Amino acid sequence: MAQVPQTFFDALAVRTWCGLALETLGRAREEIDAINVYPVADGDTGTNLYLTVESAVAAVEAVFAGHAAGSDATGGPGATRSGATGSEGPTLADAARAMAHGALIGARGNSGTILAQLLRGMAQVLAEGEIAHADGRGLGLALRRAADSARQAVAHPVEGTVLTVASAAADAAGGAEGDCGTVARAAYEGACSALAETPGRLPVLERAGVVDAGGRGLVAVLGALVETFTGEKAKGPRRDPHARVHPAAGLLPGDGVPGECTDGAAAPSGEEGPAFEVIYLLDAEDAAVERLRERLDALGDSLVVVGGDGLWNVHVHVDDAGAAVEAGIEAGRPHRIRITHFGAGDVHTTGAERPPRERAERAVVAVVPGEGLAGLYAEAGATTVLARPGEPPASGELVQAVRRAHAREVVLLPNDADLRHTAAAAAEQVRAEGIRVALIPTRSAVQGIAALAVHAPDRRFDEDVVSMTSAAGATRYAEVTVAERQSWTMAGICQAGDVLGLIDGDVALIGSDVAVTAETVLDRMLSAGGEMVTLVLGDDVPDTVAERLENRVREGYLAVDTVLYRGGRQGALLLIGVE
């Protein structure tokens, strides 16, 4: 369907641009991956950019959905929607901030973190003064801020990379006069010209016969911006910089020139780079982050730190991964920590460089809401994807987890009703790769625990899936949480700070005391019978609550067993399952 061009840069334009950028990167992903040659031939720049934009799209869509249907009391699934909160929809500031935040929490690799900072720089301009919309001049200023802030986020910027392409786009946009379509087209053409020149700026690209992969991805994103404002597919200058100069097949890691990196950050000066890539989100103050930059810069290279307002995305290549994480702990609270060993072939190495690992016959991939449950699921043999409050995983993360499981048959447990469509999209993608996937529509982590308890990989796949589905379906689930705002619910009107008891996804009780509310919820669930109670406590729940619930079951319900787990920072105060 043809897109309706946007006259000004408003909230709808942000939404349209993000959606078109995701489509464009989806089409170009494999091409971009193929030309990613340095510092190692990891072939993942296109994928990283796609996952970053996918996270931005999800955040923007959530803002529009919230304005269309209202926000629930807990900020998550379960409470009844409060009704429309304004037919006018989100503001430009709302959409721009959501885009930047989504990209920040979903950023992958150097390319993704730099793109996240580019979008953050644009959002800073677009959200200034809470304006209704930006014109061509405002778009030019946003692109300028984007390029400058991205360059500042990289510890040692290198020319001939995405940073050069971003600066060229901003320069061209700043010299253009007219509406947003005119400025966007100027930025795109400036980026195309700069991209075509990248092989001449970086010998490693010239030797490989390719343009910069990160810059190629930015050109795709800017092309989507042109389509947003003109309704037409962007057409570059006469020389097509999108295509590779010639194939880069056969180029191995280490063939590049030391000291340069196609993602914009300086690489090591020796023959071999650091052993690990470390990425994490960090809750920290600005002053602490400045000290962190200095420490990480001394530990390794390819350092990119993006974000602000208390939330940062940190990316660095180091030999001592533990020291990089410890530095984050000293600065604040690191989370969503991802450590990749380059030499082990986790990612960042091509198939030609390592013998193929034999696939397992069957695996389970599960989304879990806290570190404690992630450990529990991992001990049971599952590959886990951590979902923190307000940070649901995108389909690309689930696809990567399925690939990481490296099995012919995979059982996928989303453990959240709101993730069912995301999980279905991931399953559809990996099925196209020849992996047999069964999606069990678990709506809570306690249902996933029940399914995993009966998992038997020695059974026929269909029989195993039926057994796991039956166990999950026979498990009623509940949670106790705290309302974040006033809202209408199935149990009446709640106020911010009220304790909510949700049963099977609906608010069944509004209380003021965690222990009393949890006990009442448990009684209601056991009134229909049960043989096993599973309790998963969050970090903010004292052990006395668990003891009270265990005593309640022991004294009031004969022949019912109780099992207790610590879930960590899982969002809800308490999860309850009754089988």
pLDDT tens-digit series, residues 131-173: 888 999 999 999 999 999 999 998 888 888 899 999 999 999 9
Q: Which amino acid is at 90?
A: P
Structure tokens at 271: 């023959």
Higher pLDDT, 395 or 88: 395
C-alpha 365/C-alpha 398 separation (Å) is 8
Q: Of 9, 21, 16, 131, give the one whose Cα is nearest residue 64.
A: 16
- In the three-class reduction of DSSP (H, G, I as helix; E, B as strand; rest coil), residue 252 is classed as coil
Three-state secondary structure of 17-58: HHHHHHHHHHHHHHHHHHCCCCCCCCCCHHHHHHHHHHHHHH
For 476-486, what is the mean pLDDT?
A: 90
Cα dist. 413→247, 447, 451, 461, 506 in Å? 40, 9, 9, 15, 21
Whether 466 shows a pLDDT value over 50: the answer reads yes
| pLDDT for res 139 | 94
pLDDT of residue 472: 93
pLDDT at residue 148 in the model: 95
Given a cut of 60, whether residue 284 has pLDDT beyond it is yes
Question: Does position 435 have pLDDT exceeding 50, yes or no?
Answer: yes
Phi, psi dihedral angles at 278 (to 5 degrees): -120, 125
Answer yes or no: is pLDDT of 458 > 80.
yes
Residue 560: C-alpha distances to residues 123, 338, 400, 531 (Å): 54, 40, 39, 5
Mean pLDDT confidence for 449-474: 92
pLDDT band at 391 (very low <50, low <70, confident <90, very high): confident
Place of tokens 């949890």: 518
CA atoms of 76 and 439, how far apart (whole Å): 22
pLDDT average, residue stretch 248-272: 39
pLDDT for res 225 = 95
Looking at mean pLDDT, say which of 98-112, 183-197, 254-268 comes out highest: 183-197
* pLDDT surpasses 80 at 355: no
Q: How many CB atoms lie within 10 A of CB 356?
A: 8
Amino acid in position 120:
R
State the pLDDT at residue 80: 34
Rounded CA separation 278/320 (Å): 10
* Tokens linked to 111: 């390319």
Give the least confident one: 198-207, 239-248, 426-435: 239-248
Lowest mean pLDDT among 339-343, 348-352, 356-360, 560-564: 348-352
273: confidence class by pLDDT, cuts 50, 70, 90:
low
Q: How confident is the model at residue 43 (pLDDT cuts 50, 70, 90)?
A: low
Q: How much is the average pLDDT of 204-209?
A: 83
Q: What's this model's pTM, rounded to 2 decimal places?
A: 0.64
Q: State yes or no: pLDDT of 244 exceeds 80.
A: no
311 forms beta bridges with 283, 308
Mean pLDDT of 213-220: 92
> CA angle, corner 477, sides to 476 and 483, nearest 5?
150
Between 358 and 436, the higher pLDDT residue = 436
Asked if pLDDT for residue 78 goes beyond 50, the answer is: no
194 vs 68: which has the higher pLDDT: 194
> Does the structure show a pLDDT above 90 at 18?
yes
Residues whose CB is less than 8 angstroms from the CB of residue 346 and which lie 6 or more positions away in sequence, other chains included: 340
The interaxial angle of helices 92-106 and 109-126, nearest 10 deg, is 160
- For the chain, helix, strand, coil in percent to 5 are 45, 20, 35
Note the pLDDT tens digit of each residue in 326-354.
999 999 998 878 777 665 444 443 333 44
Please, which pLDDT band fits residue 35 given cuts at 50, 70 and 90?
confident
pLDDT band at 7 (very low <50, low <70, confident <90, very high): confident
Kindly tell me the number of DSSP H helices and DSSP E strands found in the chain.
18, 16
> What does the pLDDT read at residue 246?
39
Supply the mean pLDDT for the chain: 82
